[in-house]
Structures are given as C-alpha cells and as structure tokens.
C-alpha cells in the first residue's frame, strides 16, 4: 500500500502463538481400579481450511470408516477490532542499526493496536473428556495469559501479548429423539491484544547538522546572528563510538 | 365383547411362515455385516457414560439395508473440526436370526434385543455404524407378531475405543485412529512373579551383574543422557509382572512411559495441526525472559 510492500505476519504469528497454547492437552482415562489405561493427546487444528484439502487430507482413499475422531479442538480467528485504549503517538519511531558496515538504520513508526478475537471449540464424545480439557485450560487464564512474540525480528521487537479468556459457553444436545446426534461442544471466546506494524524504512544516519539563527524573521531580509554546526568524527559506522566536532559562528551587527 | 373367532389375524403356523419368508428375503437381498456388542468397563454413574467402552466380539449376521438408494443423513461435510461423514442408514434384522447369533454375547446389557450403542460394521461399504435406535414394532403386528428389528444407525464417532474383534477391517480403525499414546508404549513381557522397579536388562546381562547395588550392570538399559552411577535406567512398572517400561524418574503418581518414536498425532489424526503449531511456534515465541506469571515449571 502507498507504494511499498511489507508483511510482518503480525496476525499470522498471533494465530500460531494462540494455537500453540493448546497444543499439549491430554485426556487420561482410568479403569475401575483407578489405574491409568489410556492417555490421549487431543488433536488441535485451525478450523478454516480449503474444502478440497479437508476432503483429501481427511479421507484420501475414501475409506474413512467412522464419522469423526473425537476429542478434537478447533479454533479460528473471528474478529479484528481496533483498540483505541492502547493507541500510541503515531510519530514515535523505533530505530535499529540495520547494517553497521553499510551505515544504515531501520526506522519503523509506532504500530497500531488491534484486538484479535478467537473462538476455540472443544468437541468430545464423553462429558468427562470435555471437563478434563476445560480444567486444563481455565487455570492459566486469570483471565489473561501472556505470551512473548517476536513480532518484527528485523527490528528486534519482542512484545508481550496478553490473551484474555472472555467467556465459555457449553452445548450438550442430549435431549430429543434417538436419531439426532448428541454433540458436546465447549466454545471459548478469547481476545489477543496484538499490534499491527507498518513498513520498515531504511535511512542513513545523520552525520552533520547546521543550525542558523536569525534576529528578526518578520523582515524580508532577516539578519543572521549565529550559525552552529556539529558533525561526527571517527569511522562513521553504526556501531562506532564516535565523537563530535562543534563550530559556532556569531555576527554582531548584520549578516554577511 | 370379543373379536370374531372365524377371522384370525395370525396363527402360529402363519407367523412362522411369515418369519421364514422375512429371513429368506433378508438372506437374498441383504448384506453380511458384523454386529459388535459394547462391553462396558467403567461406567461413570454421574455422567452416564463409559469412555473405556470396548468392542471385542463381532458376530457375522445378515441384515437388509433399508435405504437402498444410498446413505441418508448429512453425509460428507466440513465443520470447524474438519471432515465429518454423517452417513445414516437403517438395517432390518430378523429377530430369530439375531437371537441365534448375537444374543449369546455376555457383553450385551439387554440380551433380549439389539442394544442401542452397539455397532454394526458393513464390510461392503467399509463403514462402522452405531445403533442409535432399535425400532421393535415396525412393521406393526401384521399377523400378530414382530419378526424383525429395525436398527437406525449412523456412522460411529470414534473416541479411541478399543476394537479387538479379530476382524482385520474393524481392528484397523483402532490402529489408524486411536489417540491413546499408551498403545505405543514399550511393554515388558508379562512375568508370573511380582517385580518391583526391576531394571530392564539386555539379553546378554547376567543376574550377578544386576545384583551389585549401585553398579551399572553390564546389560542395563539406560537413557542416552545417563551418566555413570547416576540413574537414568529404564525400569519395569511397579506392579506384578511389570507391564510397562518406565523411566527411573517415575513415581507412584506420575509414570513416564517410553513411547515408540513412530507415534504421532499427525498420523493418528491427519487433520490436526499440533506438530505444525509446535514447530512454527518455536520461531515465534520468545522464552528468553522468565515470566513470573507464566509457565509454572519455571517456579522451582
């Protein structure tokens, strides 16, 4: 946009970070003697996918003998909302030496705050499976859990992103006729407070500054009274411990 | 007041004939299927369910598929959980044949009729169905008897139930789809004696070597990161004739099993993203600073 391409994967990274939180959820089933006999790792997947891939990956040989394998966790991005409460001054710049040898700096303006809304769905066949999953998730969100995301590696930006658990709803269609499937589905609603970053531009470092002072700028030919110059010494590279040279000239009566 | 005795709605001979004709018709037009009674292992009285249900019997029997034009139901659909196959059908089975074949199973909750929750596997279409409802009076007393059951079935929602029927096509479902990690663990041979925290030895190890306290025996199996004298040995589970191979750090509360490397959630559930997310998150998440409100394992 506006003549430049950039893509920092801010939203994609937040989706991955969010999903990875629920990567190691287990269900343990015990027998009547209270001995652990099954340990299930719950499959997790981002919900929205190309339909042809769902079909081809899920049943490539047309031999899927069952309806679905449960339990499962699915999640999806459901909303992107601007968050004015976290707004920063738009002219704040983030700077980083890009290439010391090349004497360049990376410049990036302040990111814009957005809340990403996620919904996560837990589907189980058994009620106990469902509450095992729920109980492994809830204690970590009070009501937020914070992850540190490497948002813009080229600018060394690592930001803590709180992921807030807003609410949970629960559906169990156990009533009705016998031919209707029973579905136990927990729906978790989350918000992730992330930022979306603009382009990174490159500029040379400032090596010299000249300041000229004038006595009366309302006049057509203002009289200069002082000139101040400052320039750096040394190798002029980004990681150089350089010094400064300063010059000051003053005019008492009128500008030359 | 009584009905006219000169007009019978069904004599025993007529009823038997009618039932014979029904059986013959099913055997001509029907399909060979397997009836799998559900074995309940640990019923949860609160939730009224048994997550450990097991199916270890399969009775071959003929049934007529009433939906001759194909399956009913929503069929293949994409949901937020991936691909679902919601096929439904209705099987008709003779009462007499079901009594002869399947009613002997000790797994049946009710032995007088097919049970809701039991499974029907149809090899022709390679589908495993769960019986959602057994209609016992359709057709309704045509000659004062009920010769058949109608089994309303839908594709089974598999939740890592044990399928150990001896029928390859059925048992393959568990091999392919079970999420139970413990079926991938290394097991010790079932021993006849009680063994507590017994070391696992290589076959060339000696009894003498094992009995030296604190000594790393010649045939002891250790984890790769073990240091001499400090135990990372593999042990047998603390029970009679150990079943599972555990790491030495296992306790009474937490057992750390050794899992076959070929186990993968992606293999058992191809539509899952667990491993992708785990790999992808490694380059995205930053763990260089310890968060006091983050991972509980950092609080030691």
SS3 A35: coil
Interface of A with B in 208-247 (CB under 8 A): none
In 3D, which of B147, B137, B58 has the Cα closest to residue B102? B58
**Nearest of A70, A62, A1, A14 to residue A196 by alpha carbon:** A14
pLDDT on residue A195: 95
The predicted pLDDT at position B212 comes to: 42
Mean pLDDT of A121-143: 95
Q: How confident is the model at residue B144 (pLDDT cuts 50, 70, 90)?
A: confident
Please check the confidence at residue B88 and state whether its pLDDT lies above 50: yes
Residue B294 DSSP class = S
- Asked if B281's CB is within 8 angstroms of A66's CB, the reply is no
Kindly list the residues from chain A whose CB atom is less than 8 angstroms away from the CB atom of residue B52.
Answer: 29, 31, 37-38
Note if the pTM is more than 0.90: no
Secondary structure tally for chain A: helices H, strands E: 3, 15
* CB of A162 less than 8 A from some CB of B: no
Q: What is the mean pLDDT of residues A178-186?
A: 91
User: From the list A59, A128, A145, which residue is nearest B44 (CB)?
Assistant: A128
A179 → closest Cβ in B132, B179, B255: B132
How far is the C-alpha of A21 from the C-alpha of A23, rounded, in Å?
Answer: 6
Please answer whether residues A192 and A151 qualify as being in contact, where contact means their C-beta atoms are separated by less than 8 angstroms.
Answer: no
CB-CB under 8 Å, B271 with A47: no
Give the ipTM of the model, two decimals please. Answer: 0.81
| β strands within chain B, DSSP E | 31-36, 54-55, 59-65, 72-79, 82-94, 119-122, 127-135, 148-155, 157-158, 162-163, 194-195, 234-236, 239-240, 245-247
Q: Do A45 and B272 touch (CB under 8 A)?
A: yes
Q: What does the pLDDT read at residue B255?
A: 65
Q: Which of A7-11, B13-17, B106-110 shows the lowest per-residue confidence on average (mean pLDDT)? A: B106-110
pLDDT at A76: 96
Residue closest to A41 by CA, chosen among B266, B123, B194: B266
Distances (CA, A) of A57 to B82, B128, B204: 10, 20, 46
Q: Are B245 and B234 contacting, i.e. CB atoms less than 8 angstroms apart?
A: yes
User: Is A47 within 8 Å of chain B by CB?
Assistant: yes
Integer Cα distance of B67 and B100 in angstroms: 25
Check residue A237 and give its pLDDT: 66
Listed residue (A254, A176, A180) closest to A214, CA to CA? A254
Mutate: best of A17, A35, A65, partner B, most B CBs <10 A:
A65
- Read off the tokens for B79: 């949901």
């Amino acid at each position: 946009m506006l003549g430049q391409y950039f893509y920092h994967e801010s939203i994609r990274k937040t989706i991955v970070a969010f999903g990875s939180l629920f990567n190691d959820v287990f269900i343990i089933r015990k027998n009547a003697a209270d001995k652990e006999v099954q340990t299930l790792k719950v499959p997790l997947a981002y919900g929205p996918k190309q339909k042809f891939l769902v079909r081809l990956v899920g049943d490539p040989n047309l031999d899927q003998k069952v309806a679905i394998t449960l339990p499962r966790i699915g999640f999806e991005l459901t909303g992107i909302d601007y968050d004015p409460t976290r707004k920063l001054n738009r002219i704040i710049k983030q700077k980083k030496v890009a290439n010391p040898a090349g004497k360049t700096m990376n410049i990036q303006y302040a990111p814009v705050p957005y809340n990403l809304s996620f919904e996560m769905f837990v589907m189980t066949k058994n009620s106990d499976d469902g509450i095992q999953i729920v109980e492994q998730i809830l204690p970590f969100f009070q009501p937020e859990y914070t992850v540190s995301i490497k948002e813009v590696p080229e600018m060394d930006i690592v930001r803590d992103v709180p992921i807030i658990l807003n609410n949970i709803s629960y559906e169990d269609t156990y009533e009705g006729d016998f031919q209707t499937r029973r579905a136990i589905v927990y729906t978790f609603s989350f918000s992730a407070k992330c930022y979306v970053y603009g382009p990174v531009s490159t500029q040379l470092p400032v090596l010299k500054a000249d300041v000229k002072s004038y006595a009366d700028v309302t006049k057509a030919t203002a009289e200069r009274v002082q000139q101040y110059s400052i320039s750096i010494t040394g190798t002029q590279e980004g990681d150089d411990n350089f010094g400064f040279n300063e010059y000051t000239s003053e005019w008492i009566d009128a500008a030359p | 007041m009584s009905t006219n005795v000169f007009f019978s709605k069904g004599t025993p001979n007529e009823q038997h004939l009618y039932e014979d004709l029904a059986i013959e018709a099913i055997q001509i037009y029907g399909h060979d299927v397997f009836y799998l009674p559900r074995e309940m292992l640990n019923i949860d009285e609160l939730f009224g369910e048994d997550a450990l249900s097991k199916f270890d019997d399969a009775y071959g029997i003929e049934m007529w598929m009433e939906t001759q034009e194909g399956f009913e139901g929503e069929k293949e659909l994409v949901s937020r959980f991936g691909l679902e196959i919601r096929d439904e059908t209705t099987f008709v089975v003779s009462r007499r044949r079901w009594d002869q074949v399947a009613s002997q199973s000790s797994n049946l909750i009710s032995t007088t009729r097919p049970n809701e929750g039991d499974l029907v596997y149809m090899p022709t279409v390679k589908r495993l169905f769960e019986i959602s409802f057994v209609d016992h009076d359709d057709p309704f007393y045509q000659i004062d008897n009920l010769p058949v059951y109608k089994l309303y079935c839908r594709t089974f929602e598999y939740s890592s139930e044990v399928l150990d029927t001896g029928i390859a096509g059925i048992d393959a479902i568990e091999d392919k789809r079970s999420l139970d990690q413990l079926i991938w663990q290394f097991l010790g041979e079932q021993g006849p004696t009680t063994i507590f925290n017994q070391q696992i030895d290589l076959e060339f190890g000696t009894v003498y070597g094992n009995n030296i306290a604190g000594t790393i025996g010649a045939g002891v199996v250790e984890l790769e990161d073990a240091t001499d004298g400090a135990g990372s040995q593999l042990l047998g589970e603390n029970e009679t004739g150990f079943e599972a191979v555990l790491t030495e750090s296992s306790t009474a509360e937490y057992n750390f099993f050794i899992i076959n490397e070929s186990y993968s959630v992606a293999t058992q559930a191809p539509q899952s993203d667990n491993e992708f997310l785990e790999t992808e998150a490694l380059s995205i998440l930053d763990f260089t600073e310890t968060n006091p409100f983050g991972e509980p394992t950092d609080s030691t």
